[in-house]
Amino acid sequence: MHSFFQDFVRDDEGNIISCKMHDIVHNLVQILTQNECLFMKNNEFKGSKVRHLTAWEFRDANSICSANNMRTLRTNAKYIVGLFHQIACLRALDLRRSNITILPPENNLKRLPETITNLYNLQTLMLDWCTNLCELPQGMGKLVNLRHLGIKYTDKLEFLPQGIGRMRSLRTLSKFIVGGGWNIGELKNLKLHQRKLEIMNLEKVTNKDEAMEAQLKNESYLRDLQLFFK
């Protein structure tokens, strides 16, 4: 792999998050995946068979609804919000650093609409660096197939919806936020497979017994535990 890719960038856990490839390799990959992958920079979308789409700053969001087999969507475009009910085939949705707006239009992403919970097949939802995000949909528990929820660097997010406790498929969760109806003991119900976990608002844990109930000693994958108090 290293002969094709270079300049690897890793996250805090050592996972590769980006890299560069030689122009020749890039052109070859584009040819081989032209019917499956598309990177779109403007309003033109002509790819009903596309399965993986990266789209920046496009206005005609309705055009992507023709891609009935789309599995991955990576975008920062605010116009996609109202179409979640039309792209139920999605497996992965990447809204990192998103400028999606609900109301008012001049603000960055503050809350996700409940319609996102109609993406029943969704397995990955990335919301890292949505720095104004303060609320997740209360119906998150409907996303029963969700395996990965990325909420790094979302400092304004003050609580998690209680429905997350019903996500038996969830394997990675950037951080657990105590409060809003959640106590730290509910961590034991999440079967997380990750090396790093942040636990926020520990000042809301009132006694030792409540802390012990989290059963963190049973998290065999955990190597880095970060605890935060306000």
| pLDDT tops 80 at residue 100 | no
C-alpha torsion angle, residues 20, 50, 129, 15 (rounded to 10): -50
Cα–Cα–Cα angle for 182, 13, 129, nearest 5°? 60
In this predicted structure, what is the pLDDT of residue 107? Answer: 43
Mean pLDDT in the chain? Answer: 79
| pLDDT tops 50 at residue 218 | yes
* 97: containing domain: 36-170
Q: What's the average model confidence in pLDDT over 9-35?
A: 71
pLDDT band at 108 (very low <50, low <70, confident <90, very high): low
Q: What's the average model confidence in pLDDT over 153-181?
A: 88
Q: What is the DSSP letter of 211?
A: H
Residue 103 lies in a domain: yes
Say whether both 164 and 180 belong to one domain.
no
pTM given for the model: 0.77
% the chain with pLDDT above 90: 20
Number of domains in the chain: 2
Q: Of 121, 136, 170, which residue constitutes the final position of a domain? A: 170
